[in-house]
Amino acid sequence: MPELPEVETIVRGLRKTVAGKTITKVHVNAPHSLIQVSDSFGSKSFADVLQKRRIIQVDRRGKNILIALNGDITLWVHLKMTGRFVHIEYNHPVNKHDLVIFDFKSTCTNRIRYHLRFNDYRRFGRLRLFHNDELWLQKALANLGPEPLEISRDEFISLCRGRTRMIKPALLDQTFLAGLGNIYTDEALYAARIHPRKITSTISRKKLYELHGHIQRLLRKAIRLMGTTVDSFSDLDGRAGRFQKYLLVYGREGMPCTRCGTTIIRKKIGSRSAHFCPRCQRLRSRNTIH
């Protein structure tokens, strides 16, 4: 699933390509589960609501993409596992996984017409339309935790020390901290030498200080490199991310640790897997929850 750096890459691409443009037509070839239109729009369809709307701005909140439209309306997008946006020439053949296509009003400066496609071969992504006054009442947005790149060191330490949870599941919980997933959580815990089962309330302030710094450092680096591509992620132009070249534990099960040579292992912790070095990230039995 795309995490904060990948979603931020898409958001920046949308700002460059479609912000300020007016939608002229929307073609929908998506299952009902992918599209949601608030009841406040009455009987209007997804395409009807979007037609003739201008894209005011594009923002990110956690792993969510928020596309603000004129008329105090927001198109809320979650990419889920394999959703992606593609900015492509109008005449390019339509793929069977291009589930929603947005056409835009042409401008005199653009001789080649482009449109925006939402492509999702696993069809888990979500596109939802809400009036702004009801958007932040939606549970999935209202309950989001702080942004990893905005939370201060002291706030992060207080957040962790105030809970009694294993650190890996806590960091993956979007109500705890919004935007992290398996990749950057595994990498940050490895960098800080913290076992993924370590209990948040037992981690020293010094270690939490280090973890906070590593989380922000890794996220910023990943954003500069347009994210991590381990499956199908790409930016609006179809370019893969480049951060996968710098992964030290994620996806390296069975390979030697770059620090000590111990074999990297993968274990299920909570409902998710974790990659870590059992030597560099040691855990004492009293720091576990059974």
> What confidence tens digit (pLDDT) does each residue in 163-173 have?
999 999 999 99
The pTM of the full predicted model, rounded to 2 decimals, is 0.95
Provide the Cα torsion 100, 106, 107, 110; round to 10°: 70
Counting Cα atoms < 13 Å in the Cβ hemisphere of 120 gives 27
Kindly state whether residue 148 falls inside one of the protein's structural domains. no
**What does the pLDDT look like over 140-164, one tens digit per residue?**
999 999 999 999 999 999 999 999 9
Whether residues 134 and 158 share a domain: the answer is no
Whether residues 93 and 180 share a domain: the answer is no
Rounded CA-CA distance 61/64 in Å is 5
At 96, list the tokens.
């069977």
Whether residues 61 and 100 share a domain: the answer is yes
Kindly state whether residue 147 falls inside one of the protein's structural domains. no
- Domain of residue 217: give its range: 153-287
Tell me the three state secondary structure of residue 85.
Answer: strand
Kindly state whether residue 111 falls inside one of the protein's structural domains. yes
- The single-letter DSSP state of residue 138 is S
Q: How many CB atoms lie within 10 A of CB 260?
A: 10
286 an active-site residue? Answer: no
- Kindly name the residue from 21, 63, 197, 198 that is annotated as catalytic: 63
Whether residues 129 and 192 share a domain: the answer is no
**What does the pLDDT look like over 172-225, one tens digit per residue?**
999 999 999 999 999 999 999 999 999 999 999 999 999 999 999 999 999 999
Residue at a domain's end among 80, 111, 142:
142
- Kindly name the residue from 161, 193, 272, 278 that is annotated as catalytic: 272
Q: What is the CATH number of the domain that holds 52?
A: 3.20.190.10
Rounded CA-CA distance 224/114 in Å is 26
Counting Cα atoms < 13 Å in the Cβ hemisphere of 52 gives 2
155 an active-site residue? Answer: no
Whether residues 11 and 110 share a domain: the answer is yes
pLDDT at 288: 54
Q: Domain total for the chain? A: 2
Whether residues 134 and 30 share a domain: the answer is yes
- Kindly name the residue from 3, 6, 8, 187 that is annotated as catalytic: 3
Whether residues 176 and 127 share a domain: the answer is no
Residue 135 near residue 65, CB atoms below 8 Å? no
272 an active-site residue? Answer: yes
Whether residues 10 and 132 share a domain: the answer is yes
Residue at a domain's end among 111, 142, 173:
142
- Mean of the pLDDT values across residues 260-270? 97
Residue at a domain's end among 91, 108, 142:
142
Rounded CA-CA distance 115/93 in Å is 12
Whether residues 199 and 121 share a domain: the answer is no
284 an active-site residue? Answer: no
Q: What is the CATH number of the domain that holds 208?
A: 1.10.8.50
